Structure 1
Amino acid sequence: MSGKNLILCLSMASIILSCNSKEKNFKSAIDSISQADLSNHISILASDDFQGRAPSTLGEERTIQYLEDQFAKIGLKPGNGDSFFQEVSLVKISADKQMKFNIKSKRREFNLVFSEEFVGGTPQLSEQVNFDNSEIIFVGYGINAPEHNWNDYQDLDVKGKTVLMLVNDPGYATSDSTLFEGRTMTFYGRWTYKFEEAARQGAKAAIIIHETGAAAYPWGVVQGSWNESKFYLANNMLSKSDLYLQSWVTTECAKSLFVSSGLDYDKTIASASLRGFKPVKMNMTASAHINNRVEYTKSNNVAALWPGKSKQDEYLIYTAHWDHLGINPMFGEDTILNGAVDNATGTAALLEIAQAFATLAKTQDRSILFLAVTCEEQGLLGSEFYTLNPLFPLEKTVGVINMDGLNILGRTKDMTITGMGKSTLDGYAISVLEKQGRYVCPDPTPEKGGYFRSDHFSFAKVGVPTLYLSKGIDNLEHGKEWGLAQNESWTKENYHKPSDSYDPARWDFHGMVEDVKVYFEIGFAIASAK
């Protein structure tokens, strides 16, 4: 063999060995993601010992300590200097459930019953909040959206008044694709936006009419969420505003109010979806008397860093919220909301993916931040706090992969991108799934506004590319219709209820394991991209 041929053969052998080494390196990492590890983490995080993982409780202390211990054991570095914790300053407001909320018309007086007919509270940092005889105006969807040429507050002064409004946005009710985004909920359809806009307009109180389809969850979810204390970021805009009450009423209660005002409920509601809608004076007044307990407190995001190599000053973030709803006596015997699916599963995946990256013999190029955020259930507060106080520059953050509520129903042919088309990261998910003979589908129920209901949205608002990839619906064994039906059934029976508990006898982990491997591979591709 000539010298040239020998050199060529040696070079080819070196390339093959290098490729084989890379494949072996990647395979060992991805194979480290296991059902045993995921189920172990979930069983601990969703145990009664963790008391439902509510912020600023013993449940939080146990949760964040567990996460710190696990990240340190894996070999990750603290993400906030020498600490794994990013302290989040909060205000906790606990309203007396005996609060008096009175609505009066010429025909009738309504003394609304908390939980049965209404829920609510105040963002004001006062021990007593009172207002009397505030005029009520029905403002349709309560939206001011210049880009959609829509303003329910146009030429209307609501300072000191009470605004009554619908959840979701006009496109939902009409299925008219020329109104907002048709059946797809926009940010303007979210309850958080509606309360904030009412505050910006100077309203004294804001009331949202609950309707299960439009809200995407039954009244029981609203009851549970407002039955206990509410958290706000310290220095938040609502507490600085003149908004004294933010509340929901049941559909049945709303219908009674409209009848008492001499208005046809169905016709008035339908008119709110038409261009040119004019607000309607209800000829009613609202009064409220609320006793509060105001506490200034803290919670924590948990941040763990796996440094990159050649581009270690650029960052990919994996997010999952560790918090849930704690203990709620309204549920009777079983008062602990363990939040097994929501979101012990995503938090467990965060740990398992961190372990996979630590298993790599050759480090990825970009640094990876594993961020378990607090107060997602309180309105994405932990992730919002991070974007306002980033541990690493947002302009150096190449992307965010969010994990929330993983698959417990078995293997699927697909995975869902909620907000498909809104991010440059979609292509990575499509490519990885295609390699596995699977496919990506858009959110099958965009009218529920899922894009605005998890922590990726805090980052999307400030311009960071995000990917909210979640469980698929095309079940390998039972098909799409079964998958959709199972999701709807789970939401109705378990979402934000004590029954969202760890149940290994009923859970099928095979799909979850496959999906977590997809999250890892997407992150590896982004962290290694040129």
Structure 2
Amino acid sequence: MKKCLSLSLLSTLVLASCATTTLNKTDFNSAYNTIKSKELATHIKAFASDEFGGRGPSTQGEKLTLEYLTKHFKEMGYQPGNGDSFLQQVPLVSLEASADMGLTIGGKTYEYKKDMVMGSSRISEFETIENSELVFVGYGVNAPEYSWNDYKDLDVKNKTVVILVNDPGFASKDPDLFTGDAMTYYGRWTYKYEEASRQGAAGAIIIHETAPASYPWSVVENSWSGPQFSFQKENNNMDRVAVEGWITKDVATEIFNKAGLDFNKQKQLAAKSSHNADLGDLTASVSVKNTIKKSISNNFIATLPGSEQADEHVIYSAHWDHLGTDPTKKGDNIYNGAHDNATGTAGLIEVAQAFASLPKNPKRSITFLAVTAEEQGLLGSKFYATNPIIAPKKTVANINMDSLNLLGKVKDVSVVGIGKSELDDMLQVAANKQNRTIGGDPKPSSGGYYRSDHFAFANIGVPAMYAGGGTQAIDDATATYRKRMGLILRGCYHQACDHYRKGWDLSGAVQDLQLFYHVGFNLSEQKDWPKWDIKSEFQRK
């Protein structure tokens, strides 16, 4: 019998409540080393192939993706995770706005994609706002816990609100305002549309800026045009604003000037305290014509039953979907999504293989969940969280994989949302084996903890880990490679050029997958469940 590892974080020793197991160190290491670059590359290449067509939900690409996952998990000896099925149906509706639209403000009509992208979340063939009064509502935040309300003393019924992206903490860099440079959920576009709807607005327009959004305008063009997915709801989403969308900073500056306001001064005021302002007598008009298609997409779920506590599960997750194919685009019109997120989906298979290679199943069940429609607002994971196959009270933790490290080996591990739970301590144990240190998110302003599928688990109280990569190259050669490849990856985010490349250094991805396996292994064997930090906004419900 072997004792499980003690947990250490920096100089603090945190002892795990350990239970004995028949799985010894040799078994653990043998499985650990089954995770290899060659096999990982094979799976990435398959998911990101042109044949899979960009893996759009409810397409032939989805069918091929699910068949591939089912085949490999069956071969590894995994059982269907949803009764006798590997699939969980997710009822979706696709809304595709006609490109034949123009946003008219102050006598000028702005061009679709070039100046603005508009749409509607309502399951309706036609939505419009006509001469809707414009109101600037700062960051569009109503947060009582921060004593902040940009809608204070303001009636926006039948009006269109204009909103800054991100939150006041990012703009002010004040560590005592919200969470400083680290984006909160209040900074996410999803929240801003939701709050505008709660306030009774007719329309909601977000002003895009690359730094606070953490992505360029081209991402807005590609991600918010074409089919947009949401859930099929009885109310047809009629509780949402009629029209929602984005405008460029240049358009916003022009609009503010027409209203006799200085855009930059208004931004400064909005970053200091709750703020709103009328935009003179300016109004907005735009019509959205939707093509509606209802469909069924699927989450994939597979389980390796625990040898002793089979009803308790450690869940690994990744989203299998990407943006699909754009038939209106000339040239390369397939958004292959190799980095985002063929890498994470392939990673599920590699970690699953490591567990399957153990001579005996771990004590707790290990479950792998590949979710749909992440690119459309985390829909697959939200659906799972609302309709969990495994009860939250039986879910020990979630380990999420999204866009693995393709920049080579590193000396550290970046933890998105560091300090939120005891999973950090367990990650440090795994990092110690690789002589790596752990640190926070290198880009907290992007709000990464609220932008991937682990967030759905956190919202129902399940400790969720989102980590990987790092900033410190293992050697000079890797540092040089990182500079070159980093530019390519950033430039290809949500672009057609995000395809598989033979020159990728997958050694860093393997490092991280071994970390994730290590953390999950310890979670499956130790007695105690990980807890949220007392200051975390997430707690077991």
TM (normalized to structure 2)?
0.91
**Given the superposition, is the C-alpha separation of residues 54 and 21 from structure 1 closer, same or farther in structure 2, using an over 3 Å criterion?**
closer
- Selected match of 2:216 from 198, 215, 218: 218
**Structure 2 residue 435 is matched with structure 1 residue 437:** yes
Aligned match for 1:37, one of 20, 36, 39:
39
Shift of the 278–113 alpha-carbon distance from structure 1 to 2, 3 Å rule, reads closer
In structure 1, distance between residues paired with 2:71 and 2:491: 34
The 8 Å contact of residues 164 and 207 in structure 2, kept in 1 or not, is answered as yes
Q: 2:508 aligns with which of 501, 507, 511?
A: 511
Amino acid at match of 1:91: V
Deviation track 1:417-474 (CA, whole Å, cap 9, x = no partner) reads: 1000112211110111013211111001101111111100111111110000121121
Residue aligning to 1:3: none
Give how far 1:91 is off: 1.3
Matched to 1:72, the amino acid is K
Per the alignment, residue 6 of structure 2 pairs with none
Counterpart code for 1:247: G
Taking the TM superposition and a 5 Å limit, the aligned residue runs for 1:219-234 are 219-234=217-232
Q: Which has the higher helix share?
A: 1
> Structure 1 residues 276 and 218, CA, compared in 2 at 3 Å: closer, same or farther?
closer
Change beyond 3 A, Cα 1:33–1:116: same
Distance 1:471 1:158, change over 3 A: same
Is the Cα–Cα contact under 8 Å of residues 431 and 438 in structure 2 kept in the other structure?
Answer: yes
Figure out how many residues of one structure are paired with residues of the other and give that number: 510
Q: Closer, same or farther in 2 for the Cα pair 1:152/1:491, shift >3 Å? A: farther
Partner residue in 2 for 1:134: 132
Can you list the C-alpha shifts for 1:110-148, whole angstroms capped at 9, x where unaligned?
211100000020011111112311110000000000001
Q: Is 1:299–2:297 an aligned residue pair? A: yes
Residue 312 of structure 1 deviates from its aligned partner by 0.9
Q: What CA deviation, in whole Å up to 9, does each residue of 1:385-406 have, x standing for no partner?
A: 0000001111110100000111
Partner of 1:91: 93
SS at match of 1:176: coil
- Name the CA distance, whole Å, in 2 between partners of 1:449 and 1:329: 32
The one of 152, 155, 160 equivalent to 1:154 is 152
Query: Which residue among 69, 72, 83 is the counterpart of 1:70?
Result: 72
CA distance in 1, matches of 2:127, 2:274: 36
Q: Distance in 2 between matches of 1:447 and 1:305?
A: 35
Provide the residue aligned with 2:526 in structure 1.
529
Kindly indicate whether the alpha-carbon contact (under 8 Å) linking 1:217 and 1:491 is maintained by their aligned counterparts in 2.
no
Unpaired runs of 5+ residues, structure 2, are: 3-19, 528-541
Q: Summarize deviations over 1:357-412 as a string: whole Å, max 9, x none.
A: 11100211111110000011111000000000001111110100000111112111
- 1:187 is matched with 185
1:325 to 308, 318, 323: 323
Aligned to 2:13: none
Distance 1:276 1:55, change over 3 A: closer
Conserved in 1, the CA contact under 8 Å of 2:57 and 2:372?
yes
Mapped to 2, the partners of 1:210 and 1:156 lie a distance apart of 24
Once the 2 structures are TM-superposed, how far is the Cα of residue 487 of structure 1 from its aligned partner?
A: 7.6
Q: Answer whether contact 1:162 1:203 (CA < 8 A) is retained.
A: yes
Q: Does the CA-based 8 Å contact 1:473-1:483 persist in structure 2?
A: no
Identity in percent: 45
Across the aligned residues of Structure 1 and Structure 2, the Cα RMSD in angstroms comes to 2.0
Q: Is the 8 A contact 2:96 2:225 kept in 1?
A: no
| Residue-by-residue CA offset, 1:49-83 (whole Å, 9 max, x unaligned) | 00000101111111111111111111100000110
- Could you say if the C-alpha distance between residues 134 and 20 of structure 1 is closer, same or farther in structure 2, counting changes exceeding 3 Å? closer
Indicate whether 1:424 and 2:422 are aligned.
yes
Using a 3 Å threshold, how does the CA distance of structure 1 residues 333 and 500 change in structure 2: closer, same or farther?
Answer: same
- Whether 2:462 is the aligned partner of 1:464: answer yes
The 10-residue stretch of structure 1 (339-348 or 237-246) with the greater mean CA deviation from structure 2: 237-246
Per-residue deviation at 1:19? 9.6
Does structure 2 conserve the Cα–Cα contact (< 8 Å) formed by 1:474 and 1:483?
no
Aligned equivalent of 1:369: 367
Q: Which moved more, 1:283-292 or 1:148-157?
A: 283-292
What is the TM-score when the length of structure 1 is the normalising length?
A: 0.93
Shift in CA distance, 327/215, structure 1 to aligned 2, threshold 3 Å: same
1:145-186 Cα deviation digits (max 9, x unpaired): 000100000111111110001000111111112211111111
Q: How far apart, CA to CA, are the structure 2 residues paired with 1:240 and 1:248?
A: 20
Partners in 2 of 1:76 and 1:94 — Cα distance? Answer: 38
Larger Rg: 1
Deviation at residue 482 of structure 1 after TM alignment: 6.5
Which of 337, 340, 350 aligns to 1:339? It is 337
**Conserved? CA contact 1:473–1:480, under 8 Å:** no
SS of aligned partner of 2:244: strand
Are 2:400 and 2:466, in contact at CA under 8 Å, matched by a contact in 1? yes
Q: Distance in 2 between matches of 1:483 and 1:174?
A: 34
Q: Deviations over 1:320-359 (max 9, x none)?
A: 1000011125653111111111111111110111111111
- Paired AA for residue 519 in structure 1: F
Kept after mapping to 1: 8 A contact 2:314/2:520: yes
Q: Give the structure 2 partner of residue 520 of structure 1.
A: 517
Specify every segment of 5 or more residues in structure 1 that has no aligned partner in the other structure, as ranges.
1-10, 13-17
Aligned CA distance change for structure 1 residues 227 and 170 (closer, same or farther; 3 Å)? same
